[in-house]
Amino acid sequence: MSKILVIHGPNLNLLGQREKDIYGQTTLDEINVALTEFSKKYGVKLNIVQSNHEGEIVDIIGKVKEDHINAILINPAAYTHTSVAIRDAVAAVNIPTVEVHLSNIYSREDFRQTSLIAPVSHGQISGFGVDSYLLGLQAIINILK
């Protein structure tokens, strides 16, 4: 059974409360339930984490081989645009990775339009709300086949 690590970055624990016009009303728990249900259809196991701390995310990514993780689905949130450390961790572990975002980062402020993570990922999906996560998970499953 394939194991996929799902990483939710900073402030995503506030989904459903924060900037609903940008991020919608769906909570992180609801996203996790949707991902878990979707994964069951394909016989994959998810390891889901959320952290507001860059170093913790780097440590989690660094342990993927030890934890027998086959792929990463990541919403690095604000770290998308600032974290060379997360970018380097994704590159170092060299397993299939898909970056996702609820909002379309390319239609937002200039500083949000650059992803440091995308160049070391298989792909990026943004702008489709919760569906970004589900499309990203489907992509990862397809890559693992």
**Which tens digit of pLDDT belongs to each residue from 33-74?**
999 999 999 999 999 999 999 999 999 999 999 999 999 999
- Indicate if the pLDDT at residue 107 is higher than 70: no
Could you read off the pLDDT of 109-140 as tens digits, one per residue?
Answer: 787 778 999 999 999 999 999 999 999 999 99
Give catalytic residue positions.
Answer: 23, 101
Using an 8 Å Cβ cutoff, are 124 and 100 in contact?
yes
Architecture of domain 3-144: 3-Layer(aba) Sandwich (3.40)
Residue 7: helix, strand or coil by DSSP? strand
Whole-number pLDDT of residue 112: 74
Whole-number pLDDT of residue 108: 76
**Global confidence as pTM:** 0.94
Place of tokens 């689905």: 73
Whole-number pLDDT of residue 119: 96
Whole-number pLDDT of residue 103: 86
Residues near 145 by beta carbon (within 8 Å), at least 6 away in sequence: none
How distant is the alpha carbon of residue 128 from its chain centre?
A: 14
